[in-house]
C-alpha cells in the first residue's frame, strides 16, 4: 500500500478528532458564559478561535476529500512521519508544561519553538531561530511593560531571582 493510500485511510480518525476538538471548544465557550465578564474574556477568545480553526480545518479536509487532492506533498515532513515525530507530538505539551513550571516562560517557549519543529522533521533552522528569538523577545517586552503582566520565572527561575537578589522592590 502506498504512503498516500495509507494516509487516505485515516479520514475517520481525522473526522473524529475534528469532532472531539469542536465539542471541546464549544464546551469552553458554553462554560464561560456563567462566570464574570473579566474571567470570561480569555475562555471566549480561546474557545472562539478554536472553533473557527476547527471549522476551517474541517472544511478544508472535506474539500480535499471531495476534490481528491493528494494528501501529502513529496517534500512534506508529514509524509515521512516516523516514531520521533509521533513521540514529539505526544510529549510536546507535557514537556512544555514541565519546562514552564521549572524554568518559566522564556526558557520553555524558546525550547518549544526551537526543538519541536526540528524533532518533527522540519528544516531551515536559521529561520526557526530568528522567529523564535523575535517572538519570545517581543512577548517578553510586551507582557510586563504594556500589559502589566509579570511572566512566570518558573520554580528554578524564582529560586535564582531570590538567591541572587534580583527581585525589584
What tens digit of pLDDT does each residue of 97-125 get? 999 999 988 899 899 888 888 887 777 88
> What pLDDT is stored for residue 105 in this prediction?
87
Tell whether pTM > 0.95. no
> pLDDT band for position 5 (50/70/90)?
low
> What pLDDT is stored for residue 60 in this prediction?
87
How far is Cα 156 from Cα 166, in angstroms, rounded to an integer?
A: 14
How far is Cα 9 from Cα 98, in angstroms, rounded to an integer?
A: 35
- Share the mean pLDDT of the chain: 82
How far is Cα 147 from Cα 141, in angstroms, rounded to an integer?
A: 9
> What pLDDT is stored for residue 141 in this prediction?
84
Segment 55-103, tens digit of pLDDT: 999 998 888 878 776 655 555 656 666 777 778 888 888 899 999 999 9
> What pLDDT is stored for residue 29 in this prediction?
92
> pLDDT band for position 27 (50/70/90)?
very high
Look-up: residue for cell 471548544? 25
- Residue ranges of domains in the chain: 1-71, 82-169
Amino acid at each position: 500500500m502506498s504512503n498516500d493510500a495509507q494516509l487516505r485511510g485515516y479520514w475517520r480518525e481525522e473526522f473524529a478528532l475534528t469532532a472531539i476538538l469542536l465539542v471541546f471548544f464549544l464546551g469552553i465557550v458554553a462554560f464561560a458564559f456563567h462566570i464574570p465578564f473579566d474571567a470570561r474574556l480569555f475562555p471566549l477568545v480561546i474557545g472562539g478561535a478554536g472553533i473557527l480553526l476547527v471549522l476551517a480545518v474541517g472544511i478544508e479536509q472535506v474539500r480535499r476529500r471531495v476534490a481528491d487532492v493528494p494528501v501529502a506533498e513529496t517534500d512534506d515532513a508529514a509524509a515521512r512521519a516516523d516514531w520521533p515525530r509521533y513521540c514529539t507530538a505526544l510529549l510536546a505539551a507535557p514537556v512544555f508544561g514541565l519546562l514552564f513550571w521549572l524554568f518559566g516562560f522564556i526558557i520553555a517557549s524558546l525550547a518549544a519553538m526551537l526543538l519541536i519543529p526540528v524533532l518533527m522533521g522540519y528544516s531551515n533552522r536559521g529561520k526557526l531561530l530568528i522567529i523564535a528569538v523575535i517572538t519570545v523577545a517581543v512577548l517578553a517586552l510586551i507582557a510586563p511593560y504594556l500589559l502589566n503582566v509579570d511572566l512566570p520565572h518558573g520554580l528554578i527561575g524564582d529560586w535564582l531571582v531570590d538567591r541572587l537578589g534580583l527581585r525589584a522592590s
